[in-house]
Amino acid sequence: MKITPLHDSHIALKAKMAEFAGYDMPIQYENGVMAEHNWTREKCGIFDVSHMGQITVQGADAAALWEKLTPSAISKLGSGVAKYTVLTNAEGGMVDDLIITRLSDDKFFAVINAGCKDKDIGWIQQNLPDGVKFDHLDDRSLLAIQGPLAEQVLRDVLKIDATNLGYMRYMESGEFFISRLGYTGEDGFEISVPNKNAAVVWAQFLAHPDVRPIGLAARDSLRLEMGYPLYGHDINADTSPVEADLVWIMGKDKHRSGYIGEKTVKKHLEDGAPRMRVGVKLTNRGVAREGAEIFLQNGQKIGDLTSGGFSPTLNASIGQGYIDPKLGKVGDEVLVRVRGRDIAAVIASLPFVPPKTKRSSK
Amino acid sequence: MSAVKYTNDHEWIKVEGDTAWIGITTYARHALGDLVYLELPETGRQVKKGDNFAVVESVKAASEIYTPVSGEIVSVNDNLQDNLDDLKEDIDKGWIVKVKMNNPAEAEGLMDQASYAKFTDSLS
């Protein structure tokens, strides 16, 4: 199993470790998932996300590469701006979801999912135009600090003032690549740091009284409250961005041509998608997880949950899944079947909890 | 009244006559982490040794609870659903079900407290 440069630090913190995407990762630390979740919502959590892939592409046709691989108009992205988007496959499904940051006119930084790294790198290299250079920054680790105190923590620990850095904005400071974004819905930063310094920086953050380590279990409950999809569960090679309710990543350019898989995406845009990703909130007791079936009151099945769990913030079970949009819509009362029992639920819009990310600077 | 016995799956069982009180151990409780829901069976259900009769949900995952003895579930501790903290080795409050046993001999091969303590030590 692979490990991150912070593996020894997790063991020293007595984390419960388990395999995730081929890596031995901390699932939770000593305080438990609920406490970690709430700490991130109230203070500042630090996450080791070094298993994720960091890449750059550079060259005159770098923007054109992204405009072929994603449905987003990446050429319009300003320097220092990050954008969430997806890599589409020939059938209009998704190879991965990722965040692409424009560093300069001809250079882009991107963060890709750990479990998709090899696949993505092959896909990008296969489509790489002449004169564009691809780099996998496997000499760098990635830490996320997330929570309402993250800006102050960054100032206290690394002496970096991000007051004027907007949401989805990027800056460099010495050896650090700092992006104001995350996977929790809180204000916060992802900090790329050279592997050789990762453990020292991690320890410096943990020495701050408002910072605690957060494992992957709380990372999952935090992102579920935000309705963020998890690749391999809520989105995959067979779901189009339209079905996944990700049309917003295309912005004003949703009818743009020239990207892989556009035929299916445009068909779904024009005719409507055969299924749609929605939120599902249980209104009765129980917990529904991935694979639970969704039924109408009359017993007709309308879809399945692709992820689900308990929301500490709402004190209720929440999830997301796909339903046939002809049979159900937001607000409808449905039943979710868990081990043969039907639990009352409602189709909900996402996010479940309003995000507290910093407003984008103008 | 007999002593409490334990299973490899971290259930405790206390036998009184032909009735077994079944719960989960404090060790299991700590391993599960923050509990959020307990799914209970109906009274009257027939169970066989090894059957899953209840499910405890933590924030992370669902964990099944198994009966070490066969028989009929004659009583269910509904109080636990609102008092998940009681779900531990607490004979008065923490029992999940009472099973009227068909074959009380099934309870005899289980671990005693000393063996279970040795067993959990070997896990950590």
**What is the least distance, in Å, from the CA of A186 to any CA of chain B?**
20
pTM reported for the whole predicted model = 0.94
What gap in Å lies between CA B124 and CA B110, rounded to an integer?
A: 21
Bridge partner list, A138: none
Domain map (residue ranges) of chain B: 4-101
Count CA atoms within 13 Å of residue A2 on its CB side.
13
User: What pLDDT shows up at residue A362?
Assistant: 37
Cα torsion A308, A101, A10, A149: sign: negative
* Average pLDDT of the segment spanning A54-68: 98
- Three-class secondary structure of residue A243 per DSSP: coil
Does residue B107 sit in helix, strand or coil? helix
Residue A96's identity, in one-letter code, is D
The SS3 assignment for B30 reads: helix
Residue in A38, A40, A223, A287 to test binding to B, most B beta-carbons within 10 Å: A287
Q: What is the chain B residue with the closest CA to A14?
A: B124
ipTM of this complex: 0.85
Candidate from B37, B59, B81 with C-beta closest to A34:
B59
Is the model's pLDDT at A361 over the cut of 60? no
Hey, which CATH number is domain B4-101, 3.90.226.10, 2.40.50.100, 2.40.280.10, 1.10.760.10? 2.40.50.100
* CA distance, residue A223 to nearest chain B CA (Å): 13
3-state secondary structure of A10: helix
Q: How far A319 CA lies from chain B's nearest CA (Å)? A: 13
Q: For the domain with range A275-362, which CATH number is right: 3.20.20.210, 2.40.30.110, 2.40.50.140, 3.20.20.70?
A: 2.40.30.110
End-to-end CA, chain A: 44
CATH code 3.30.1360.120 region(s) in chain A? 7-50+138-225
- The Cα–Cα gap between B7 and A209 comes to 42
Give, in order, the Cα–Cα distances in Å from A160 to each of A181, A303, A325: 16, 47, 47
Domain A7-50+138-225 - what CATH class?
alpha beta
Q: Report, as an integer, the average pLDDT of A72-97.
A: 98
Name residue, tokens 């987003």.
A72
Chain B residue at shortest CA distance from A31 = B33
Please tell me the distance in Å from B60's CA to the nearest CA on chain A: 6
Task: Tell me which residue in A217, A338, A339 faces B59 most closely, judged by beta carbons.
Answer: A217
Tell me the residues of chain A between 283 and 342 that have a Cβ less than 8 Å away from chain B. Answer: 285-287, 289, 309-310, 312, 317, 338-339, 341
Helix axis angle, A150-158 to A195-206, nearest 10°: 110
- Interval A191-203: pLDDT, tens: 999 999 999 999 9
Is A2 in the B-facing interface, judged by CB distances under 8 Å? no
Please write the tens of the pLDDT for every residue from A9-32.
999 999 999 999 999 999 999 999
Q: Nearest CB to B60: which of A33, A35, A286? A: A33
pLDDT in tens, B31-77: 898 999 999 999 999 999 999 999 999 988 899 999 999 999 999 99
Where in chain A is CATH 2.40.30.110?
275-362
